[in-house]
Amino acid sequence: MALSTEKILRFISRPLEVVVLRYIFFIAIGVPVVMYLCWLFSARPALEIIIVNKTRTDHANMELSSLDWVLTHERIMNQTQQFYDLDSNYYGFFPRLGGDFVIRDFSDYDETQIENLVNRADILYLVDAYGVYSHDYHGDLDKPNHLLYGGLNGSDLKVLQEFRAQNKLILSEFSLFVPPTQRTVRDSLQSILGVEWSGWAGRYFVSLDSTAHLDLPDWVISLYHEKYGPEWPFFDSGIVLVKGNDIVILEYGTHLLQESPVIETQPALMDEYGLPASVQYPFWFDIVSSPERDNQIVSLFHLYVNDHGDSLLSSHNIPQRFPAVLKEISGQYPFYYFAGDFTDNPIIPWTAYFKGIERFHKFFYNKNIVEDRRQFFWRYYRPLISTILKNEASRLDS
């Protein structure tokens, strides 16, 4: 008893800051270790995913970073029980040092090879088909900008049709329909998936000031001048919408009540996918519809415009609300279409190795910075893709 009393007195007599520091040190070291061990010994679902990415201009591979994070975090493995390495485990464009590149796609596959490929696979994920242009990939800016590689082609279409024939899940994203995909391929894709592209694509920019924001492409300014004359009246943030040679610019304050598009999810589906009621989306998107197919709208884009903005949109037949995520619900031909460049987000790769890290997601982005795409990743893309992949793995395992 005396010994216990002595220990208690010794503990009480220690400086408070020493006690607090010891507990902080234990939490700072112990909690991450436990989270990592929980990840390390968690289940390893098996999914064979055919990933197509035709837009990679450097070795950072930003276009696949979000998908790579989800596959790693959920410990999803291929049928050979190997983790996905999205520096190499995809079809499309592979940059090399010195300005060279390698193409790996389905162009040389015959019907038997395509059938065998799909027989072994579970999911097709068409991530990005926009492609790579010379100016994006170490090209001479003084020379005309030309396409090096990109766009979905007839071989890609045959692979998609085989997935469709075998009733296997197809995931697809923004740029599926936009050029340089050939019109005949686009028309076939729209018919197969029941998705109709309006021709409009858009993006939020934190500044429309043509002299201050490097992310604002020169072609946007040139296209506006060609259509409306030499004046450039925009300086705040806003949304640029483009369709061929037509362009519409919505400026915050002048046309917009909220500066970026907002993705809104209907309440009945929020719990199913773990999605928020709304989240800002600050990157590329396209405007699609599904008028002749019973595709479910999981989430909608909403452009919050004032009367001036509403008039501008109406004059170009652009809706204020349009699908952000479409899902085929008959069960006969399962697919999702994401009407945005959802996979391209600047995230921290090592966070994927900690089970439950999503509970601390607010530490990994600034909610007050609209253009911070990490908020979209943590609040929307991560739960959406994790849910879809885990559900498919459970379905195939049952």
Q: Is residue 192 part of a domain?
A: no
Q: Tell me the mean pLDDT in the region 81-103.
A: 88
Give the torsion sign (CA, 327, 156, 121, 342). Answer: negative
User: Tell me, what's the pLDDT at 3?
Assistant: 53
345-380 pLDDT, tens digit per residue, is 999 999 999 999 999 999 999 989 999 999 999 999
Instruction: Clarify whether residues 128 and 55 are in a common domain.
Output: yes
User: Tell me, what's the pLDDT at 198?
Assistant: 96
Instruction: Clarify whether residues 98 and 203 are in a common domain.
Output: no
Instruction: Clarify whether residues 276 and 304 are in a common domain.
Output: yes
Q: Which of the pair, 224 or 21, is modelled with greater confidence?
A: 224
Q: Is residue 89 part of a domain?
A: yes
Q: Which of the pair, 392 or 214, is modelled with greater confidence?
A: 392
Domain, as residue range, for 19: 2-36
- Looking at the 3D structure of the chain, how many domains does it have? 3
Instruction: Clarify whether residues 53 and 168 are in a common domain.
Output: yes
Instruction: Clarify whether residues 54 and 109 are in a common domain.
Output: yes
Token pair 């900690």: residue: 354
Tokens describing residue 223? 């296209």
Instruction: Clarify whether residues 52 and 28 are in a common domain.
Output: no
User: Tell me, what's the pLDDT at 9?
Assistant: 47
Q: Is residue 246 part of a domain?
A: yes
Q: Is residue 180 part of a domain?
A: no
User: Tell me, what's the pLDDT at 79?
Assistant: 83
Instruction: Clarify whether residues 226 and 271 are in a common domain.
Output: yes
User: Tell me, what's the pLDDT at 306?
Assistant: 98
CA–CA separation, 240 and 251 (whole Å) = 9
Domain's final residue, options 295, 327, 359? 327
Count of CA atoms in the C-beta half-sphere (13 A) of 239: 33
Instruction: Clarify whether residues 110 and 167 are in a common domain.
Output: yes
pTM: 0.90
Instruction: Clarify whether residues 208 and 154 are in a common domain.
Output: no
CA–CA separation, 336 and 383 (whole Å) = 15
Instruction: Clarify whether residues 212 and 235 are in a common domain.
Output: yes
Quick one: what percent of the chain has pLDDT higher than 70?
92
Q: Which of the pair, 74 or 22, is modelled with greater confidence?
A: 74
Q: Is residue 166 part of a domain?
A: yes
103-160 pLDDT, tens digit per residue, is 999 999 999 999 999 999 999 999 999 988 887 777 667 778 888 899 999 999 999 9
User: Tell me, what's the pLDDT at 163?
Assistant: 96
Say whether pLDDT at 201 is over 60.
yes
Q: Is residue 382 part of a domain?
A: yes
Instruction: Clarify whether residues 67 and 100 are in a common domain.
Output: yes
Q: Tell me the mean pLDDT in the region 193-214.
A: 90
275-315 pLDDT, tens digit per residue, is 999 999 999 999 999 987 779 999 999 999 999 999 999 99
Say whether pLDDT at 39 is over 50.
yes
Instruction: Clarify whether residues 145 and 94 are in a common domain.
Output: yes
Yes or no: say if 230 and 210 are a contact pair by the CB < 8 Å rule: no
Q: Is residue 182 part of a domain?
A: no
Q: Is residue 181 part of a domain?
A: no
